[in-house]
Amino acid sequence: MDYLDFYGLEQEPFSSAPVSKFYYNSAQHQRALVRLMYAVDTMKGLAVLIGELGTGKTTLARRMLDNLPEEEYESALLVIIHSGITADWLLSRIARQLGVEDPAPEKLKLLNQLYSRLVELHEQGKKAVVLIDEAQMLHTREIMEEFRGLLNLEVPESKLINFVFFGLPEFEEYLHLDEPLAQRVALKCKLESFNLESTDGYITHRLRLAGAKAQLFHSEAAKLIHHYSRGIPRLINTICDNSLFEGYLLKKKFVEPDLVQAVAMDLGLAAMPKTARRPQRGGPADVLRGPGAGRVQDPRQPPPGRRPVKAQPAYEQEYEDDEFPEGVSIEPAEDSDTEVDMGLAARRQPSIGRGYDMEPEPVTEAEAYEVPAIPPVPTEPPPEFEPAPSAGARTRANPDDIDAMFNGLTDKPEPKKQGREDDAIDEMLDDLEDK
């Protein structure tokens, strides 16, 4: 049993293949088809339809081919699958598609054969139309010149062939590789992404054609599909197909918004929600709080945004304010022995949260950048010795010593004046000897 049986469907409603049965005639597709049909019906010569990836260009090309009656048109659809094709190969392929039998290998003979066939169709009242899908693959000047030459095949008052190009927006630039060809564009259309209303109608239309008896997508789920697909039909098909399959696995009869969101995440069309993961205690790594929340962080590595700091002695260790991300608290490491061996006495590590609601503990700047204090330099010599004065140094006397010295001098007797008394005695002795 697959999801077709589970949901009561006859065939896959959101196949990636361009199935004409599931063509959705949105307002813009209808306008584009009417204009392109007008261009070929009036033999305008050259028409262009451009659109982004997945907007339905190929589906519209096949729809247009089906709408060209065989009794009125000799039509063909060429899908370019390689950018290395040559102008000669392309010319031969167009001739075969329009009914030229055994195309000649020489270019001039082939052009004569093609012209004869186009005149024959014109006389039969038929119009030659060639639809070219994936036209952006044609990006050489030689090929553009070849198309310009084919458009010159005409009879009085009428062209003999019509070309309709379906391609990406860059094809407009390639047309200007041959400016005369760019000037021959008679009509140009552009496909845009679906709006919400068209997206909802597109899903309902394909489900109904696939045999669904009821709407399988919740209205809110359809809004999410439009959001994640950006209204691009190809992405709408991918999301819807995967949602139906996942719903079948979960045995859900209706596709709900949460299922669409999960599918979009799996396809890479939606960003993962920023939810934190609980740390695994005892493991080699924990969850880092702060800007890196939700990511596993090895504590042996610096936290995101922090530059490694070269190992230095503790008193030379430098830290900058912008090294630590906001919201990450810094604490001294507990493994002090390891830090001494590494020459780091103040290594910092991020604090580890213990759950969803843990907040980093506030720390002051002094605590965050704390390093061991350097012992103060002694200002007085040890008591065991007194420093000897250096040569030529002037010392200051202790005031107590000066007072004691003066007190000692005042207690001593005044010295006698011995000089003059001795001289007088000597004179007296000299006088006595003379007598």
Q: 79 and 146: one domain?
A: yes
| CA distance to 301, 402, 406, 412, per residue, from 399 (Å) | 66, 5, 11, 21
Q: 312 and 255: one domain?
A: no
Weakest mean pLDDT among 93-107, 130-144, 332-346 = 332-346
Weakest mean pLDDT among 32-36, 116-120, 329-333, 413-417 = 329-333
Q: 215 and 140: one domain?
A: no
Q: 230 and 174: one domain?
A: no
pLDDT for residue 241: 96
Rounded average pLDDT over 114-118: 95
pLDDT for residue 382: 41
pLDDT for residue 417: 47
pLDDT for residue 312: 44
Q: 179 and 199: one domain?
A: no
In a domain, 411, yes or no: no
In a domain, 428, yes or no: no
Q: 235 and 201: one domain?
A: yes
Q: 132 and 211: one domain?
A: no
Q: 153 and 215: one domain?
A: no
Q: 76 and 39: one domain?
A: yes
pLDDT for residue 99: 93
Q: 257 and 300: one domain?
A: no
22 vs 382, higher pLDDT: 22
Q: The domain that contains 227 carries what CATH number?
A: 1.10.8
In a domain, 343, yes or no: yes
Final residue in a domain of this structure, among 337, 372, 407? 372
pLDDT for residue 347: 37
Final residue in a domain of this structure, among 191, 223, 251? 191
Q: 215 and 261: one domain?
A: yes
Q: 140 and 77: one domain?
A: yes
In a domain, 83, yes or no: yes
Mean pLDDT over each residue of the chain, to the nearest integer: 75
- Summarised one tens digit per residue, pLDDT across range 386-412 is 444 444 444 444 555 545 554 554 454
In a domain, 412, yes or no: no
pLDDT for residue 90: 93
In a domain, 166, yes or no: yes
pLDDT for residue 373: 46
Weakest mean pLDDT among 108-112, 201-205, 323-327, 412-416 = 323-327
pLDDT for residue 425: 58
204 vs 376, higher pLDDT: 204
Please state whether the predicted TM-score (pTM) of the whole model is above 0.95. Answer: no
The pLDDT-based confidence of 89 (bands split at 50, 70, 90) is very high
Residues in the chain: 435
Q: The domain that contains 69 carries what CATH number?
A: 3.40.50.300
Residue 310 pLDDT more than 60?
Answer: no
Residue 240 belongs to what domain range? 3-10+195-266
Q: By percentage, how much of the chain surpasses pLDDT 90?
A: 56
pLDDT for residue 434: 59
Rounded average pLDDT over 45-70: 94
Number of domains in the chain: 3
Residue 311 pLDDT more than 50?
Answer: no
In a domain, 426, yes or no: no
Final residue in a domain of this structure, among 215, 237, 266? 266
In a domain, 238, yes or no: yes
